[in-house]
């Protein structure tokens, strides 16, 4: 039976960045094995709905490490590998009906699974979901020659895909059940800005809409919404969320609840087994709450943390949640946790493409959104969140340098 000192279950971004960190910390050849369900070496996920989908990035350019990196450093990378179970007592992973793989230390990083439409017509051709490199390639190829498309979902994946398709000259309609775009994250003023920006670039919005049926002969031709309206479309892209890929852990005795439950070190309930990325439901020591994050930076940082911990550096995972997005000619960044806020303050003009939004709780900065603002705003945002900086809301909203919002500089 094959075995390895360190095993990463999953071949996504956690694996790619953990492997790089292991090597930097002196990993010896033969000590690490990556068991990947993909057929491609680990690659970056953000370009799949941005640059790669638009045709600006190549497959090679989005690889986390060059293909030869793993061989060069004695890392075994098994592709097309299906993990079906974990035996935490015998320290074994089940690979299909007969094969097993042994481990000393294990990083669970199988990511998440797409939520799919469960309505009549969902099985029609040209109904797409975006999770993998193959998904992005398929959507990109099919978009050539398409005149009308429907994007279902008003979150960041839906917004990014709609932006790319609209820039290809496709008539795009966005459907989502909320009354405004990305209600879970954007303030009303932010939603209004982005809705106006998209509308000016040809995207049509149908807020408060639920999809009842997809129609077509073999391939989708129209979308029926709850009030009976019919929207013609030659392709549909659904971005309706994901769930952690934990099915293979059934019966393993690991604690699972909306992901694998881990502590502030990313350690599971079983000794020597960690979890990272979309799969990990971890104890966030900065915000004193449990969190499961589905963003690029989380996977990168947690993969690196797991490698450091397994190589002997025992420190809690302390990290300010972060993500970024590119839509049309806009780029923005977000840090923190806005759900904790009791006050929102903006800088700049929310009617223009240059503004920032700051979320406060008892005058402490807990989250920040920054788009086309001075560099100092980007620089202080994560620092202030991590250090729990108290600010003056009135000065934060003023025209002076953002540093003037700190009381000790007032």
End-to-end, the C-alpha distance of the chain in Å comes to 67
Q: Decide if 336 contacts 366 (C-beta within 8 A).
A: yes
Torsion of CA 397, 400, 401, 407, to 10 degrees: -70
Sheet containing strand 280-284, edge to edge, reads 260-261, 280-284, 289-291
The pLDDT, as a whole number, for residue 28 is 98
The pLDDT, as a whole number, for residue 204 is 98
Sheet containing strand 343-348, edge to edge, reads 322-327, 330-336, 364-371, 355-361, 343-348
How many CA within 13 A on the CB side of residue 343? 14
Going residue by residue through the chain (410 aa), what tens digit of pLDDT does each one get? 799 999 999 999 999 999 999 999 999 999 999 999 999 999 999 999 999 999 999 999 999 999 999 999 999 999 999 999 999 999 999 998 889 999 999 999 999 999 999 999 999 999 999 999 999 999 999 999 899 999 999 999 999 999 999 999 999 999 999 999 999 999 999 999 999 999 999 999 999 999 999 999 999 999 999 999 999 999 999 999 999 999 999 999 999 999 999 999 999 999 999 999 999 999 999 999 999 999 999 999 999 999 999 999 999 999 999 999 999 999 999 999 999 899 999 999 999 999 999 999 999 999 999 999 999 999 999 999 999 999 999 999 999 999 999 986 43
H or E element, residue 301: helix 296-310
Q: φ, ψ for residue 382 (rounded to 5)?
A: -65, -30
- Tokens, residue 151: 């994007």
Q: Please list the residues that pair with 102 across neighbouring strands.
A: 3, 92
The pLDDT, as a whole number, for residue 410 is 38
Beta-sheet pairing, 32-35 with 76-78: parallel
The helix/strand/coil state of 42 is: coil
pLDDT, tens only, 93-117: 999 888 999 999 999 999 999 999 9
Q: State pTM to two decimals.
A: 0.96
Q: Decide if 53 contacts 136 (C-beta within 8 A).
A: yes
Alpha-carbon gap, residue 267 to 273, rounded angstroms: 6
The pLDDT, as a whole number, for residue 90 is 97
The pLDDT, as a whole number, for residue 408 is 60
For tokens 């915000």, the residue is 287
């Amino acid at each position: 039976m094959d075995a390895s000192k360190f095993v990463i279950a999953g071949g996504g971004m956690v694996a790619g960045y953990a492997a790089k960190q292991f090597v930097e910390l002196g990993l010896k050849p033969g000590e690490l094995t990556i068991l990947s369900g993909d057929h491609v070496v680990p690659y970056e996920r953000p370009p799949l709905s941005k640059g790669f989908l638009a045709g600006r990035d190549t497959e090679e350019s989005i690889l986390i490490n060059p293909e030869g990196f793993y061989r060069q450093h004695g890392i075994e990378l098994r592709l097309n590998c299906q993990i079906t179970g974990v035996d935490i007592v015998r320290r074994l992973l089940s690979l299909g009906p007969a094969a097993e793989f042994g481990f000393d230390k294990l990083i669970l990083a199988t990511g998440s699974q797409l939520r799919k439409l469960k309505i009549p017509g969902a099985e029609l051709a040209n109904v797409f979901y975006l999770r993998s490199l193959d998904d992005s390639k398929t959507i990109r190829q099919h978009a050539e020659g398409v005149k009308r498309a429907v994007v279902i979902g008003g979150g960041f994946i839906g917004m990014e895909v709609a932006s790319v398709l609209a820039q290809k000259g496709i008539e795009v309609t966005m459907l989502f059940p909320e009354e405004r775009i990305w209600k879970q994250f954007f303030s009303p003023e932010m939603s209004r800005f982005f809705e106006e920006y998209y509308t000016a670039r040809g995207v049509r919005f149908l807020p408060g809409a639920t999809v009842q049926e997809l129609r077509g002969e073999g391939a989708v031709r129209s979308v029926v919404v709850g009030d009976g309206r019919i929207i013609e479309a030659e392709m549909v892209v659904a971005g309706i969320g994901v769930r952690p890929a934990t099915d293979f852990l059934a019966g393993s005795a690991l604690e699972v609840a909306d992901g694998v439950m881990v502590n502030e070190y990313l350690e599971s309930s079983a000794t020597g087994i960690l979890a990272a990325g979309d799969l990990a439901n971890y104890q966030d020591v900065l915000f004193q709450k449990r969190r499961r994050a589905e963003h690029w930076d989380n996977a990168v940082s947690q993969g690196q943390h797991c490698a450091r911990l397994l190589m002997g550096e025992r420190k809690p995972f302390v990290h300010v949640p972060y993500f970024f997005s590119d839509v049309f000619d806009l780029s923005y960044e977000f840090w923190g946790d806005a759900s904790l806020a009791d006050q929102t303050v903006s800088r700049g003009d929310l009617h223009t493409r240059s503004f920032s939004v700051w979320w406060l709780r008892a005058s402490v900065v807990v989250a920040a959104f920054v788009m086309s603002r001075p560099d100092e705003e980007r620089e202080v945002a994560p620092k202030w969140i991590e250090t729990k900086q108290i600010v003056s809301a009135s000065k934060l909203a003023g025209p002076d340098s953002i540093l003037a919002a700190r009381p000790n500089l007032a």
